[in-house]
Structure 1
């Protein structure tokens, strides 16, 4: 149900005159409240500069901060006036895949009219019950080129703790956490940046939404508790991009992007919640993106050819036969697990059309679809790109794993849009690897099932996987699903147990849930029965109160009438109690838990659980627990 009204939402405007050295500016305060009145964003003019604040339950989330958008090196938000505003509101729900099956898009908004000299432009503000967001629109004549830039500040309250990683690996980093006051000047931060506010005031996370026809953003600390928005031409070149691309490519992406006609910035988003459950369930990032084109997606995410599911993947666990026969075996093993997809790396390109078609037909008979890997550099030419996509479509290939973007310059963002448009036309699914952070565009393009943008199981040298995997659900995953490629029973699991690894498939979930482990090892594991039943999308997710970033992740997730409880522990042994009150009635419980004698084994148990029960767990370093509850 959708309600759009131009109406008097929770907004106030105050007018006064303020003297400045060069004349008079009308000081106008525009205040927008969330529908539940708990989140408040104020935009105001102070001596000709546009500032904003964000509060939650009257406590600061973003202290007074200067907005900064410029065109051709002219700062429009300096020496600017607010000349008026119009208000609007949306309250709708729509089908979704991932954290829950129904997304809520409910906000109060204001389009604030601004004037810099003779340049009129608009600041659009939307305030949700769990987020505040803003975007600038600068009108321009078609065909006329301008170069935008931004440097809006996010002034974080003193005493806040921030979790972040740098840009060295692009979006494949390991988070650290510090008090915001101690983050040094010049520190680069890859969004989303998650913040725990002081005095138990809640959490926030800063990122962007609906990135298109523009450069991606990162954040730069200034050493004074402020994070400054910076576009891609300011970012340091990531190690992956430097490794894979030429000096000419690097020189090109370091130039500011020029845009033709009207310029609309992506949404700058501050997710806000009282607890981690609110943060994980926040829909704001995809809410801020347009709904899908019904020409391609008549039922949105439920369109018949959009098929989320679990995937086997020959890459990280043992030397598989990379022949057609070997991949037929992988498809057969996938079918034995009940999985829907088989992802092939680049070796498929050596095969003939007849060989590919043979594998596709064999797999389809098993109920398994075939995905193939491509290098994004080979897709820059539109005619070559379309020919490759058309070939895959004609051969019956279901999805493309497209790799090695490694940069957020506008030309890379434009390539994403071209890929998504052309694959939608051909009914091809997409997994972006070596990718930028998600910005909610899977709402517009539901054929994008996931993006990597995470240091996942491919990173064999990550020693403290226990801390890493309990940090990600509350940092990187807040922007959207990540291709972590969970579950490995060998050395890559480092300081985590087998049970913890299986729990990661529940917690580090994605609509395309690609398993790292060889399917033979999945089938042979004592937890195989649980593994076979873990879905890739959920109807409901509850993050339970004992969860703590980098220390413990406790998730209850429902699919239909079946609940899963999954626990991943960090590096400190702990005893926890988990009420089973998320159950609505008694249920048959099948669980797997750690064997204290060996991290490379696990125990299984069957019982009956009641909503009034309280589960007691003793967890060692990197320990885990998974339970399935069936009515």
Structure 2
């Protein structure tokens, strides 16, 4: 070793016992992470365009066999390296994605000499980090607590969804990520529910926006959330509650070594950054090897959303297959209790009938073991690999295209494994999957391309039950593109164009129509029935008959969480520009649609006499005026 190298090693060791600080920059140098080891504790902060968006925050974990949150000594750090990745995905806001980031690894050991690496990747749209235990051991190590925190400056505002307590709610079916977001609250406010706050969590910090989530959850870790209390605006990682497990399974993280944690993902920038970023899938594991020939995105009819349990019968299902065929929709969903209300033999007949009309069927299942008391069935058929493969083989041979699996029991490590084994077995049987009453997917749709969607939202179903949910819907829907639907497909089951029985809908018809593009879902289950569609003008029906279900590009146009959302999405040679107004006041918008200059389009908007009206919309300048009714919306198509 030469003198220069010896001095560098000596300096590094000296700093390990004192203070070490290293900056990691995004490729465009707009985002800076300051990693430090001080007083034998690892810390980090994040700045954007020279302003602090995350103050000094904690890093580390506590294993039952060792504390990795204190007594830390820096052993070495790698040089920054450029990481690049490219992938294609059908169920996202973009179909072809390139990810570029600067990566740096900090290698430490704790007071017992046990090693831990902290890996940072900083891209132009955010920061990601994860932990790695590099040593080898067949012994099972258990993490009792994660010390990771996110400390925000004073006056930070937040848009946060409370996490439901386990085994509460109807038939003890929580948690299922089905609360409303608390909007524009001061950071640091305690969650009204002790289980904490869910991801994605949105913050307006020091003039910029920050969205927190996680990715790369592979079954060796539980899913996490933010703890209910955040003193001094410091949010800490929280683990699931005790009941959130597959029967007899693990709750908190445990694994042999070596062991990688999931990524902690911090999207940073403007609202345009938040809504156009793909970090949630950029940091997910690449797609597993599977036959993808059966994977097709699309739209679906669904009788239960309006007609409820009594609609699950042979004749109504046949009518909804006809409805899907008439609308050129690819799927029809048959919901709970189909096994007794219709029966396997008649389901096979319906599958053949649907196939002749170029429609495929999706069947509902109850996931539940003993973690809730839901009576709906088929129930208990998917709890083991053997049971799943038997049932999946049976329905796949009947011509069924996919499964909707409902009422999961939480975020414990064993429950996460249950989700992933379902996806693996469904892929083997060439079945598409939609999870309901479920956790946030956290990028699983990249890893398992047969995952079309997941609920994990207080969706339109709740509007059909409760006037309060209907009253909240406009603000709720204009919050979701910045939060829940920012990275993961969301089965909100949108778009009721005519009426909801016994409920006064607060949104306009054009608002509802716009949701067909505003929300991202691999299969979009629409909340309209044939009788309602009969009242919809022919031009709007034509729009829905030709609507794409995979997007090549997305551009944020305008908006603010809970108040307004305007987006443009491209498919092929067509651009779809849509907007929804989350407030009960009319708005005149001046939109920058200059990227569509000299293009001619058709605008569908609200009308006083007939539900909708259609007018020509030509883009001839850098500012395009569009008026929105209170709680209204619009869609425009350009080619």
Give the C-alpha shift of residue 435 in structure 1: 0.9
Within 5 Å, give how 1:74-93 maps onto structure 2: 74-86=66-78, 87-93=80-86
Mapped to 2, the partners of 1:396 and 1:605 lie a distance apart of 39
Within 5 Å, give how 1:248-267 maps onto structure 2: 255-267=251-263
1:330 aligns with: 320
Is 1:127–2:140 an aligned residue pair?
no
Is 1:315–2:311 an aligned residue pair?
no
Contact 1:312–1:519 (8 Å) recurs in 2:
no
1:147 aligns with: 142
1:43 aligns with: 35
Match of 2:454 among 440, 451, 456: 451
1:110 aligns with: 104
Contact 2:188–2:230 (8 Å) recurs in 1:
no
Is 1:223–2:234 an aligned residue pair?
no
Mapped to 1, the partners of 2:504 and 2:268 lie a distance apart of 32
Please give the secondary structure, in 2, of the residue aligned with 1:529: helix
Match of 1:289 among 284, 292, 297: 284
Contact 1:232–1:254 (8 Å) recurs in 2:
no
Give the C-alpha shift of residue 16 in structure 1: 7.0
Within 5 Å, give how 1:332-371 maps onto structure 2: 332-350=322-340, 351-371=342-362
Render the CA deviation track for 1:420-467: whole Å, top value 9, x for unaligned: 111111211111111111211211111001111000001132022111
Count of equivalent residues: 587
1:162 aligns with: 158
Within 5 Å, give how 1:578-597 maps onto structure 2: 578-587=591-600, 589-596=601-608
CA 1:584–1:366 in structure 2 vs 1: closer, same or farther (change >3 Å)? farther
Render the CA deviation track for 1:383-416: whole Å, top value 9, x for unaligned: 2122111212221211111111141011110001
Give the C-alpha shift of residue 146 in structure 1: 1.7
Contact 2:312–2:335 (8 Å) recurs in 1:
no
2:364 aligns with: 373
Is 1:606–2:615 an aligned residue pair?
yes
Please give the secondary structure, in 2, of the residue aligned with 1:383: helix
1:272 aligns with: 268
Match of 1:68 among 39, 43, 60: 60
Give the C-alpha shift of residue 181 in structure 1: 4.5
1:5 aligns with: none
1:245 aligns with: none
Render the CA deviation track for 1:519-567: whole Å, top value 9, x for unaligned: 442354123222223322211111113x111001111111111111211
CA 1:94–1:544 in structure 2 vs 1: closer, same or farther (change >3 Å)? same
Match of 1:424 among 423, 427, 435: 427
2:555 aligns with: 542
Mapped to 2, the partners of 1:178 and 1:254 lie a distance apart of 36
Mapped to 1, the partners of 2:533 and 2:239 lie a distance apart of 43
Mapped to 2, the partners of 1:493 and 1:483 lie a distance apart of 22
Is 1:413–2:425 an aligned residue pair?
no
Give the C-alpha shift of residue 342 in structure 1: 0.7
Is 1:214–2:221 an aligned residue pair?
yes
Give the C-alpha shift of residue 183 in structure 1: 1.2
Match of 2:436 among 433, 442, 450: 433
Contact 2:82–2:102 (8 Å) recurs in 1:
yes
Contact 1:16–1:28 (8 Å) recurs in 2:
no
- Normalising by the residue count of structure 1, what TM-score does the alignment of the two structures yield? 0.88
2:522 aligns with: 511
- Normalising by the residue count of structure 2, what TM-score does the alignment of the two structures yield? 0.87
CA 1:251–1:292 in structure 2 vs 1: closer, same or farther (change >3 Å)? closer
Please give the secondary structure, in 1, of the residue aligned with 2:589: strand
Contact 2:536–2:611 (8 Å) recurs in 1:
no
Contact 2:568–2:575 (8 Å) recurs in 1:
yes
Mapped to 2, the partners of 1:77 and 1:433 lie a distance apart of 36
Mapped to 2, the partners of 1:606 and 1:620 lie a distance apart of 16
Contact 1:131–1:272 (8 Å) recurs in 2:
yes
CA RMSD of superposed structures (Å): 2.4
Render the CA deviation track for 1:290-316: whole Å, top value 9, x for unaligned: 22134x15xxxxx42110111111112
Mapped to 2, the partners of 1:441 and 1:478 lie a distance apart of 14
Contact 1:431–1:448 (8 Å) recurs in 2:
yes
Please give the secondary structure, in 2, of the residue aligned with 1:582: helix
Structure 1 residue runs without a partner (length 5+): 1-12, 19-23, 242-248, 298-302
Give the C-alpha shift of residue 370 in structure 1: 0.7
Please give the secondary structure, in 1, of the residue aligned with 2:304: coil
Please give the secondary structure, in 1, of the residue aligned with 2:232: coil
Mapped to 1, the partners of 2:490 and 2:261 lie a distance apart of 24
Mapped to 1, the partners of 2:54 and 2:13 lie a distance apart of 24
Match of 2:631 among 599, 613, 622: 622
Match of 1:138 among 133, 136, 139: 133
Give the C-alpha shift of residue 254 in structure 1: 8.9
Contact 1:495–1:621 (8 Å) recurs in 2:
no
Mapped to 2, the partners of 1:586 and 1:26 lie a distance apart of 62
Give the C-alpha shift of residue 73 in structure 1: 6.4
Mapped to 1, the partners of 2:250 and 2:235 lie a distance apart of 21
Is 1:172–2:178 an aligned residue pair?
yes
Give the C-alpha shift of residue 368 in structure 1: 0.9
Give the C-alpha shift of residue 124 in structure 1: 1.4
1:232 aligns with: 240
Mapped to 2, the partners of 1:128 and 1:174 lie a distance apart of 31
CA 1:361–1:292 in structure 2 vs 1: closer, same or farther (change >3 Å)? same
Mapped to 1, the partners of 2:581 and 2:543 lie a distance apart of 19
Mapped to 1, the partners of 2:335 and 2:621 lie a distance apart of 48
